[in-house]
Structure 1
Amino acid sequence: MLGDLNKAQLLDFLNQQVIGRLGCSNDGETYVVPINYVYRANAIYAHSGNGKKIDMMRANPKVCFLIDEIVNTFNWKSAIIQGTFSELHGETRQQAMQGIIHKIMPLTSKPTQEPSHGINPAEHDNLIVYKIEFSSISGKYESHDDEA
């Protein structure tokens, strides 16, 4: 069966996942990268060091975000979010970073030996914490689990 995910299914799906793909564009170039995230209150929260995606989102804050779960060709689901990037500061930044840490760290087997997600450890104090506020969200699924 092929179908649309309803709102409750979409929000559950966003809460279950921790990695998505962020798409941004500027000056005729499109860039898509995987990111760790946490979902809260109609927004995706994430962090990054300075680099291409941050430069592109600062220049054009309209972005796209994709999450998916693929078991096989005939059993999958995906959601696409259109939204707007904004950087966080102060207490909001700190709360978002705590949410990210609480979501991601339990998934690591040896937190002290895990990679720094492409961010130089000396630059951790300069992390950019941001949110993608939704303007729209939609999702699809295909499942044949109930077929014999």
Structure 2
Amino acid sequence: MIITEMTRSECLELLAAQRLGHLACCRDGQPYVVPVTFALDGNYLYSFSLAGQKIEWMRANPLVSLQTDVLGEHGTWRSVVVNGRFEELPDRIGWKHARDHAWSLLSQHANWWEPGGLKPADEGPTQHVFYRIMIETMTGRRCVAAQD
């Protein structure tokens, strides 16, 4: 097996094709990683969540990372890591277009609200939050079968 770097366009292609990633945020030196659904548009990854720990932490520290990957046959894989900045899309004047855009991108796919829209039953009702991550840097690697 050979591991190689992916180009920016290859990274964007993988991000555009994927829906599930792992979002990392950090508060007071403690990392927190959760699965999220996302949609790529331009230099942004759009997502959705109910209010909770990840939203609180990203409000406190907007620097985040998102990782996604795809497994191929015979041990091959591709993986992309995005470093970026969280930006909430609040439900108030001036943000309607961005919120509607996020909803239109995400809702193109079945079960787009999972896992961000699910909470344990005992937590009760909570507000939903649309947000985006502005891509600042991105790296990708792939593992391919060695040529004989």
TM range (shorter): 0.7 to 0.9
Q: Contact 2:49/2:116 (CA < 8 Å) preserved in 1?
A: no
Q: Contact 2:37/2:115 (CA < 8 Å) preserved in 1?
A: no
Aligned residues: 138
Structure 2 residues not aligned, in runs of 5+: 90-94
Q: Where in structure 1 do 4 or more consecutive aligned residues deviate above 2 Å?
A: 70-74, 114-117
1:94 and 2:94 equivalent? no
TM-score (norm 1): 0.83
**Structure with the larger helix share:** 1
CA offsets 1:23-81 (integer angstroms, 9 cap, x no match) = 00001211000000000011110000100000000000000110111236831110001
CA 1:6–1:115 in 2, change beyond 3 Å: closer, same or farther? closer
Q: Secondary structure at the match of 1:92?
A: helix
Measure how far apart 1:90 and its partner are. Answer: 1.5
**Aligned-partner residue type, residue 97 of structure 1:** W
| Aligned-pair identity (%) | 28
TM-score (norm 2): 0.83
Matches for 1:1-148 after TM superposition, within 5 Å: 1-71=2-72, 74-88=75-89, 89-102=95-108, 104-105=109-110, 117-119=117-119, 126-144=127-145, 147=147
- Looking at structure 2, the residues matched to 46 and 115 of structure 1 have their Cα atoms a distance apart, in angstroms, of 10
RMSD: 2.5
